[in-house]
């Protein structure tokens, strides 16, 4: 079996995110024009996204998510920017939306966050309590 190349995968993810955005827009009973205005993008650009002709940036996805009142993480997962992850949805969305970080920096931060979560899952609550005790003792004022 031959794997799809990056261009084919990008087209497929562009189509998937576009279809998802269109479905969410229709469920919210918002016109294309209204969503474009609320998200701060042009009608033609949003139309191209919905038809899978354009792949939006993480920042544009955040604006669309806010306009649709849905989680930006849902859009990031559908767009292929993010694998489904458990954890603090707002934290993940904030990292992805930070315009001052490069895409590589965002991915590294998310990988570190994910590794800490996996590490904590392997250790019981007692270990986390010990860490909290150490932190509290270290920050306590000395006499």
Domains of the chain: 6-139 (1.10.260.40)
- Give, to the nearest 10 degrees, the angle between helix 43-50 and helix 32-39: 110
pLDDT of residue 46: 96
Phi, psi of 136 (to 5 degrees): -65, -40
Please state whether the predicted TM-score (pTM) of the whole model is above 0.75: no
Give the pLDDT of residue 138: 57
HSE at residue 52, side-chain half, CA atoms within 13 A, is 14
**pLDDT, block means (10 residues), the chain with 143 residues:** 42 76 92 96 96 89 90 77 67 79 82 84 66 58 60
CA dist 19 and 4 (Å) reads: 21
Determine the angle formed by the axes of helices 72-79 and 6-27, rounding to 10 degrees.
150
Q: Please state the separation of Cα 87 from the chain's center in Å.
A: 12
Q: Are 57 and 101 in contact (CB under 8 A)?
A: no
DSSP state of 4: P
Check residue 73 and give its pLDDT: 76
């Amino acid at each position: 079996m031959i794997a799809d190349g990056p261009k084919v995968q990008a087209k497929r993810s562009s189509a998937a995110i576009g279809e998802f955005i269109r479905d969410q827009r229709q469920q919210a009973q918002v016109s294309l024009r209204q969503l474009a205005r609320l998200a701060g993008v042009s009608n033609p650009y949003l139309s191209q996204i919905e038809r899978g002709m354009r792949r939006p940036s993480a920042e544009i996805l955040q604006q669309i998510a806010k306009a649709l009142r849905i989680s930006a993480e849902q859009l990031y997962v559908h767009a292929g920017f993010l694998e489904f992850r458990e954890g603090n949805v707002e934290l993940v969305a904030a990292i992805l939306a930070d315009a001052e970080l490069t895409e590589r920096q965002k991915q590294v931060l998310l990988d570190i966050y994910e590794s800490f979560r996996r590490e904590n899952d392997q250790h019981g609550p007692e270990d986390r309590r010990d860490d909290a005790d150490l932190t509290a003792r270290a920050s306590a004022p000395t006499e």
